[in-house]
A and B are shown apart, each in its own frame.
Chain A
Amino acid sequence: MQPIKPDTRQAVTDSAVSVRNVSKVYGDVQALKDLSLEFPRGELTSLLGPSGCGKTTLLKIIAGLLPATSGEIEVNGVKVTGPGPDRSFVFQDFALLPWASVIRNVAFGLELRGVAKSEREAIAEKYIREVGLAGFEKKFPHQLSGGMRQRVGLARALSVNAQVLLLDEPFSAVDEQTRRKFQEDLLELVKNEKKTFIFVTHSIEEAVYVSDQIAILLPRPSRVSEIIRPSSFRDKSVDNIRRDPEYLDIVDRIWASLRSYVE
């Protein structure tokens, strides 16, 4: 009975997050309309779509920060009614505490959970190292570059050890070189952390490069127009992905379906 049938090649593995017929209305703006999407466990799914199509909205509904107008979200089979320890968010605007040092910012999620100071700082230090900020523990956000701040936000989300990571354009504030480095790091992270990543981006190349599954959203009111699962190049070494014919093919295909909305 669904008006839009998602690509049926998915649903082989079990889902960490299921979005079912979710609609969201802000006053007179309908941001999402009857959107359904499955996020396979342990994989990275990108949400790709024109600006203002409701990607942040969808992410916040999954996070439990916004109520859906209708429809429901399940995380590990449990209906979402608010934020939970199974999900953590990397914010588009970083949302760091300007009065707190890097280590306190990274440990903030654990602090709110009542983890003892020495324990949470040990965990925070580990993730600060993991995102490549070792040595900056005592610095304050204003002493960091945009990209470094973004990594603090990433380390904070990782340190609470949630099963599902929601990343809202986490690489928007970095230059192209750093961005490529981050994308490689992200691939490592997906491999090592065994978590489910939901990743919003504006970049077609980035989405294809890092994703196990790409969901293309239509402009408002937003639904999933297409789901693409790259198959052949995921196992190749990171250096070869960008030369892979399937990679180039998928980038072209996505551009072809999105360009009509730009013109």
Chain B
Amino acid sequence: MLKHRPLMLKLLSALIVFGAWEIAGRVPVSYAFPTFIDSMAALARMTFDGSIFVAYAETLQPLVVGVLISAVFGIGLGLWIGLSKGFEWLFSPIFIVMQAAPLAALIPLLVMVYGIGLTSKVFVVCIMAMPVIVLNTASAVRNTPASLKEMATSFLAHDRDVLLKIILPAASPVIFSGLRLGVSAGFIGAILSELKITPTGVGDIITYSRSIADYPSMYAAIFSIILLAVIFLNLLEKLEDILFEGNNRGYAAD
């Protein structure tokens, strides 16, 4: 019973949210707000006629490429900033500005430079995803307990051992939380780029169904993105469990 508690709680909270959505749709809060059941019906229809898969084939390209670039370069850059003593003042501000910048205002600039193709969209995903990954990684690395590094040194660790056996495992919880935040932001970036640059993929479904007032389809598309993001984040959590098995011991909430 207790073992299934987290799952039960998740289901319960999902039930409450969907229930509230259904009620709000029935009231209705706004004529443009469909009920949960209508939206699910639209999602089922798009799944069976395959249009949602076609759309995701399009949307996932900048998303996957952007998230991969952000993860690899973000963690790499974060490690470098965190390990180097003098460069923090130089690089951290760039990413803090990137994190705070109004992305919508930057998009026309990107389009001017890189056109309306995949490159611009990948850029938008990276701008959204990268800063939090870099900043989290850098601060996690910098906050590695000095006593653990000292311990390793006293037992004759090489720099490489200190990095792989002390700094990375110690930093991994914060790095992964940065990755989770970055991936969520990347999802937002991918959709934003499809809404602001050229309507393709899921962004196209949203734009198009809104223009013809097919609100259930619009909300179905939005819902599918959230669902995908949740699935992806859960996979990421599994990956963390596999890579850093010992980490959730002693840190885990319960």
Q: Whole-angstrom distance from the CB of B169 to the nearest CB of chain A? A: 5
State the majority secondary structure of interface residues on A: loop
Greatest chain A CB density within 10 A among B154, B245, B250 is at B154
Q: Report the separation of the CA atoms of residues A142 and B161 in the bound assembly, to the nearest whole angstrom.
A: 23
Greatest chain B CB density within 10 A among A108, A140, A142, A143 is at A108
Interface string of B124-163 (1 = CB under 8 A from A): 0000000000000000000001011011111111000100
Which residue in chain B gives the minimum CB-CB distance to A160?
A: B155
Contact A84/B156 with A99-B247, A101-B246 known, Cβ cut-off 8 Å = yes
State the majority secondary structure of interface residues on B: helix
**B153 lies within 8 A of A85 (CB):** no
CB < 8 Å neighbour of A99 from B147, B156, B246: B246
Q: Whole-angstrom distance from the CB of A150 to the nearest CB of chain B? A: 14
**A141 lies within 8 A of B250 (CB):** yes
**B250 lies within 8 A of A140 (CB):** yes
Interface string of A65-107 (1 = CB under 8 A from B): 1000000000000000001110111010101011111000000
Q: Whole-angstrom distance from the CB of A91 to the nearest CB of chain B? A: 6
Interface string of B234-254 (1 = CB under 8 A from A): 000000000011110111000
Contact A108/B250 with A93-B147, A95-B150, A99-B244 known, Cβ cut-off 8 Å = no
Q: Report the separation of the CA atoms of residues A144 and B207 in the bound assembly, to the nearest whole angstrom.
A: 58
Q: Whole-angstrom distance from the CB of A92 to the nearest CB of chain B? A: 9
Question: Could you say which interface size class chain A belongs to?
Answer: 20 to 34
A29 contacts partner chain B, Cβ-Cβ < 8 Å? no
A224 contacts partner chain B, Cβ-Cβ < 8 Å? no
B155 partner residues in chain A, CB cutoff 8 A: 83, 88, 108-109, 112-113, 156, 160
Q: Report the separation of the CA atoms of residues A108 and B153 in the bound assembly, to the nearest whole angstrom.
A: 12
**A85 lies within 8 A of B147 (CB):** no
**B246 lies within 8 A of A91 (CB):** no
Q: Whole-angstrom distance from the CB of A143 to the nearest CB of chain B? A: 8
A154 contacts partner chain B, Cβ-Cβ < 8 Å? no
**A142 lies within 8 A of B153 (CB):** no
A101 partner residues in chain B, CB cutoff 8 A: 246
**A142 lies within 8 A of B250 (CB):** yes
B residues 189-215 with Cβ under 8 Å of A? none
Q: Whole-angstrom distance from the CB of B251 to the nearest CB of chain A? A: 8
A35 contacts partner chain B, Cβ-Cβ < 8 Å? no
Q: Whole-angstrom distance from the CB of B171 to the nearest CB of chain A? A: 11
Which residue in chain A gives the minimum CB-CB distance to B244?
A: A99
Which residue in chain B gives the minimum CB-CB distance to A89?
A: B154
Q: Report the separation of the CA atoms of residues A108 and B169 in the bound assembly, to the nearest whole angstrom.
A: 14
CB < 8 Å neighbour of B147 from A64, A84, A91, A100: A91
Contact A140/B246 with A63-B154, A84-B156 known, Cβ cut-off 8 Å = yes
Q: Whole-angstrom distance from the CB of B84 to the nearest CB of chain A? A: 22
Contact A97/B156 with A89-B151, A91-B147, A140-B246 known, Cβ cut-off 8 Å = no
**A65 lies within 8 A of B150 (CB):** yes
B169 partner residues in chain A, CB cutoff 8 A: 97, 99
**A83 lies within 8 A of B246 (CB):** no
B244 partner residues in chain A, CB cutoff 8 A: 99
Q: Whole-angstrom distance from the CB of B152 to the nearest CB of chain A? A: 7
B166 partner residues in chain A, CB cutoff 8 A: 97
A88 partner residues in chain B, CB cutoff 8 A: 154-155
B152 partner residues in chain A, CB cutoff 8 A: 108, 112
CB < 8 Å neighbour of A91 from B151, B165, B245, B251: B151
**A112 lies within 8 A of B156 (CB):** yes
Q: Report the separation of the CA atoms of residues A181 and B147 in the bound assembly, to the nearest whole angstrom.
A: 27
Write 23 A-B pairs (CB below 8 A) sorted by A numbering: A64-B154, A65-B150, A87-B154, A91-B151, A95-B145, A95-B147, A95-B148, A97-B148, A97-B166, A97-B169, A98-B249, A98-B250, A99-B170, A99-B245, A108-B155, A108-B165, A112-B165, A140-B249, A140-B250, A141-B250, A142-B249, A156-B155, A160-B155
**Residues of B bordering A, CB below 8 Å:** 145, 147-148, 150-157, 161, 165-166, 169-170, 244-247, 249-251
